[in-house]
Amino acid sequence: MPEIRALFWDVGGVLLTNAWDHEERNFAIEQFHLDKDEVESRHKLCVQPFEEGRMSLDEYLQQTVFSQPRTFSPEEFKQYMFSLSKPKPDVLEIARCLRDRYLMATINNESRELNQYRIATFQLTEYFQIFVSSCFVGLRKPDERIYRLVLDLTQRKAEECCFVDDRPVNVDAATKVGMRAILLQNAGQLKADFEKNGVDISVRR
């Protein structure tokens, strides 16, 4: 089995909480007393261009939340959206241990403003050399093209790469292009699966 030389990571649900998934939208809907059916139907129309970087956060909110007058401002709503992002310290610690031994990149679906906020706030540039975010490259998982793109950008063979994600459909797509892939359940399971794939997770001083 070829040696692993690169590790590719999802962000939301793996390293951090999700940025703007159904759970986060539900929190905001409750916080701001919005009509859930209306917000969700409008979100479905906007999510692809939003996550592919073709729609700004302001444009997205205008379409989904501020299509009618509100008692709160777009800035208040945006700050609440940002506040929902939290770190997953146990998995970030694993990434910290691996960052000097492997080429590290993200492959994640995220809108530009939220993605940039999360990279800066949680100092993800200390862990990763390359960010293959949907908003930067105009492709979203599980489209196989985004996985092939990260192989081109890193100049690694698929069999030398291991991808971590919390959604089976994204893990399946990675294996279809020849990567090894791990479906994250918890930090202990991630360490065990890394070891099975020959990834060195020993702590070094």
| Cα–Cα dist 4/81, whole Å | 36
Is 190 among the domain residues?
Answer: yes
Can you give the CATH number for the domain in which 33 is found?
1.10.150.240
Amino acid (one-letter) located at 171 = V
Is residue 142 reached through a cis peptide bond, with omega within 30 degrees of 0 on the bond before it?
yes
Do 117 and 30 share a structural domain?
A: no
Structural domain including 106 reads 6-17+86-196
Q: Specify whether the CB–CB gap between 154 and 6 falls below 8 A.
A: yes
Do 94 and 47 share a structural domain?
A: no
Do 39 and 13 share a structural domain?
A: no
Do 95 and 73 share a structural domain?
A: no
Is 66 among the domain residues?
Answer: yes
Helices (H), the chain: 22-31, 36-51, 57-64, 74-83, 89-98, 112-121, 134-137, 144-154, 168-176, 187-196
Q: Find how far residue 165's CA is from the centre of its chain.
A: 9
Do 77 and 108 share a structural domain?
A: no
| Cα–Cα dist 51/109, whole Å | 6
Do 107 and 58 share a structural domain?
A: no
| Tokens 């399946």, residue located | 172
Which pLDDT tens digits describe the chain residue by residue (205 residues)? 889 999 999 999 999 999 999 999 999 999 999 999 999 999 999 999 999 999 999 999 999 999 999 999 999 999 999 999 999 999 999 999 999 999 999 999 999 999 999 999 999 999 999 999 999 999 999 999 999 999 999 999 999 999 999 999 999 999 999 999 999 999 999 999 999 999 998 866 5
Strand ranges of the sheet holding 180-183, from the earlier edge strand across to the other edge: 130-133, 103-108, 6-9, 161-165, 180-183
Do 149 and 52 share a structural domain?
A: no
Is 192 among the domain residues?
Answer: yes
Do 100 and 77 share a structural domain?
A: no
Work out the number of other CB atoms within 10 angstroms of the CB of residue 46.
18
Do 148 and 75 share a structural domain?
A: no
Asked whether the CA dihedral 20, 25, 28, 32 is positive or negative, the reply is: positive
Is 201 among the domain residues?
Answer: no
| Cα–Cα dist 67/63, whole Å | 6
Do 90 and 159 share a structural domain?
A: yes
Is 45 among the domain residues?
Answer: yes
Is 204 among the domain residues?
Answer: no
- How far does the chain reach from its first CA to its final CA, in angstroms? 29
| Cα–Cα dist 159/3, whole Å | 8
| Cα–Cα dist 135/88, whole Å | 22
Do 108 and 122 share a structural domain?
A: yes
Do 10 and 108 share a structural domain?
A: yes
Is 27 among the domain residues?
Answer: yes
| Tokens 């940039």, residue located | 116
Domains in the chain, number: 2
Is 126 among the domain residues?
Answer: yes
